[in-house]
Amino acid sequence: MNIERMKLFLAKVLSTCGGLGYFPAAPGTFVSFIAVLLFVFTPLCRDTAILFIVIAFGFFLGAWAGGVMESAFGDDPSIVTIDELVGQWIALAALPAGLPAVVLAFVFFRFFDIAKPGLVDRAQQLPGGWGIMVDDLLAGIYANLSVRALLALFSLLHVTFPG
C-alpha cells in the first residue's frame, strides 16, 4: 500500500467517524445523535477540560482529513461527518446538566448546521477541510449560545423541568 492510499484510508476512517458517515439517511444528523449519546453516557465527555481538548484535537484532525477527502471526492462530501461530531460537542460544552439542555443543544445544532445562517454559510468557502470544519464549529457555538439564552429565559420566567 503506497503512502497516498494509506493517507486516503486514514482520512476516510477519521472523517467518517469510523464509517458512521456511510449511514444511508441523514449521516450528519445520525453522527450528531451519536455525539449526544457519547456525551451523555461517557463521563469523560462531560468533563469540560477534557471535552475541549477532544474538540480541538478533532477539529484539526477533521480539517486535515476533510481536505484529503475533498481532494478525492469533491466539495464537502456527505460521508465526512467528523465536523458534525465536533460541532455537536461544541454545542453541548459546559452547558448545565440535564436532559433539556442536551435536547436543546441537539435541536439547535442541527438547525444551525442545516440552515447555515450568515457566517456559518460563509465559512464553507474556506479552502479544503477548513471550510468543512469551521461552519460546524460556528453552528456549534451558535447552538451553545442559543441554549444558554433559552435556559436563561426559562429561568427568568420560572419555568422548571421535571427530573
Per-residue model confidence as pLDDT tens digits over 38-76: 999 999 888 999 999 999 999 999 999 999 999 999 998
**At 125, phi and psi to the nearest 5?**
-80, -10
pLDDT score at 160 = 84
Q: One-letter amino acid identity for 88?
A: Q
What's the confidence (pLDDT) of residue 137? 98
pLDDT tens for residues 88-141?
A: 999 999 999 899 999 999 999 999 999 999 999 999 999 989 999 999 999 999
Torsional class of 38: left (φ above 0), alpha (ψ -120 to 50), beta (otherwise): alpha
Count Cβ atoms within 10 A of the Cβ of residue 116 and give its class: 0-12 exposed, 13-18 middle, 19 or more buried. middle
Alpha carbon 41 to chain centroid, angstroms? 17
Hey, is 118 helix, strand or coil? Answer: coil
Q: Which of these, 78, 95, 79, 92, lies nearest to 35 by C-alpha position? A: 92
Contact by Cβ (8 Å): 106, 120: no
Q: What is the pLDDT of residue 1?
A: 64
